[in-house]
Amino acid sequence: MRILITGGAGFIGSHLADRVLSEGHTVVVVDNLITGSLDNIRHLMGRPDFTFIQQDISEPYTLEGELQAILHFASPASPIDYLKLPIETLRVGAMGTYHTLEIARQKGARLLLASTSEVYGDPLVHPQPEGYYGNVSSTGPRSCYDEAKRYAEAMVMAFQRTHGIDTRIVRIFNTFGERMRLEDGRVVPNFVAQAIRQEPLTVYGDGEQTRSFCYVSDLVEGVLRLLMLPRSGESPNPTNIGNPNEMTILQFAHVVNAITDNPAGIVFKNQDRIQDDPQTRRPDISRARQLLNWEPQVSLHEGLERTIRYFEKRIKV
């Protein structure tokens, strides 16, 4: 297959590129590098089965040649990034998704949209099944991301219903691993960098808010199973992919400090907690289990050790 990956120079997009290339597919990455980095795909440059195009997909774009599938992953995705880039985030969720769906329609390609657990907002149902409609502020600081992804989901469904194109929607829960940006502000790079520097870990609020962390190779496996699922009567849209192993942020801080032997402990930073920060988050992955026969394989401990090794090489202690 020839596969377009929007946002393919980003954290998850670049892991997807590696994986599908290793399976013999041809990859075109389109990325404007607003939060992605050439460092994530430099090792692929020059391969005959790989093309990189620097392009903002929020503007109309075209692509030469045939195409069988699109992995639509372009978007700022960390809270710090999308708070800095709210208009770009809304534009790529809306216009970027529209332009990419147009390409899917022209080429007859299957399109998989990277959506997010943020569509559930600060959830009132726990854990979150796909049938839950969410508890989302349309005006709060996170709305630029949450509403962009909700709009993107609606646009994907409209193209599927109107033009009959084959679409997949994955709702991605917290994912971590190599190639996360050190400065993207998310809890994993923040805690790991602080621990490597033997600084106290900055816990926002009281640390009682929960998350469940999925290692990137597990996420990639789930996404590709969803992409490759044969088209059948039952629509797989949307499907949650994430790790149901839930913990409080305080517990997570203790795990990171234990693995790294960080003697500096933790510090509570109440003022840094972002408004509308979800209090709980855990995926209900029954659908992924049943449809894709998928569940996470990599433990938090193992995933963190690999991530720590990656960040150690990039941090001057």
Among 91, 149, 168, 211, indicate the residue that binds ligand UDP (CB under 6 A). Answer: 211
Q: Is 209 in the site for ligand UDP (CB under 6 A)?
A: yes
Q: Is 179 in the site for ligand UDP (CB under 6 A)?
A: no
CB 268 within 8 A of CB 219: no
CA distance 227 to 12: 15
Q: How many residues does the chain have?
A: 317
CB of residue 230 vs ligand UDP: minimum separation in angstroms? 32
Among 203, 266, 292, 300, indicate the residue that binds ligand UDP (CB under 6 A). Answer: 203
Which tokens belong to 276? 């509308």
CB of residue 278 vs ligand UDP: minimum separation in angstroms? 6
Among 202, 248, 291, 310, indicate the residue that binds ligand UDP (CB under 6 A). Answer: 202
CB of residue 205 vs ligand UDP: minimum separation in angstroms? 6
Q: Is 204 in the site for ligand UDP (CB under 6 A)?
A: yes
CB of residue 249 vs ligand UDP: minimum separation in angstroms? 5
Using CB under 6 A, which of the segments 86-94, 95-103, 160-168, 179-187 binds ligand UDP? 179-187
| Nearer CB in complex with ligand UDP: 190/217 | 190
Using CB under 6 A, which of the segments 58-66, 85-93, 103-111, 181-189 binds ligand UDP? 181-189
Using CB under 6 A, which of the segments 62-70, 146-154, 200-208, 220-228 binds ligand UDP? 200-208
Please indicate whether residue 133 is annotated as part of the active site.
no
Long-range contacts: 266-273, Cβ < 8 Å, 24+? Answer: 266/200, 266/201, 266/202, 266/203, 266/207, 267/200, 267/201, 267/202, 267/203, 268/203, 268/204, 268/205, 268/206, 268/207, 269/202, 269/203, 269/204, 270/204, 270/205, 272/202, 272/204, 273/204, 273/205
Among 174, 175, 237, 239, indicate the residue that binds ligand UDP (CB under 6 A). Answer: 174
Among 187, 192, 226, 256, indicate the residue that binds ligand UDP (CB under 6 A). Answer: 187
x-marked contacts with ligand UDP along 121-160 as a string, rule CB under 6 A: ----------------------------------------
Using CB under 6 A, which of the segments 156-164, 199-207, 259-267, 298-306 binds ligand UDP? 199-207
| Cβ neighbour number for residue 114 with a 10 Å cutoff | 26
CA distance 247 to 213: 9
Candidate list 82, 120, 145, 215, residue with the active-site label:
145
Q: Is 186 in the site for ligand UDP (CB under 6 A)?
A: yes
Positions 74 through 93 that interact with ligand UDP (CB under 6 A): 78-79
Q: Is 166 in the site for ligand UDP (CB under 6 A)?
A: no
Backbone angles phi, psi at 212, to 5 degrees: -135, 125
Using CB under 6 A, which of the segments 10-18, 46-54, 125-133, 185-193 binds ligand UDP? 185-193
**Residue numbers at the binding site for ligand UDP (CB under 6 A):** 78-79, 174, 185-187, 190, 202-204, 209, 211, 249, 273, 277
Positions marked catalytic: 145
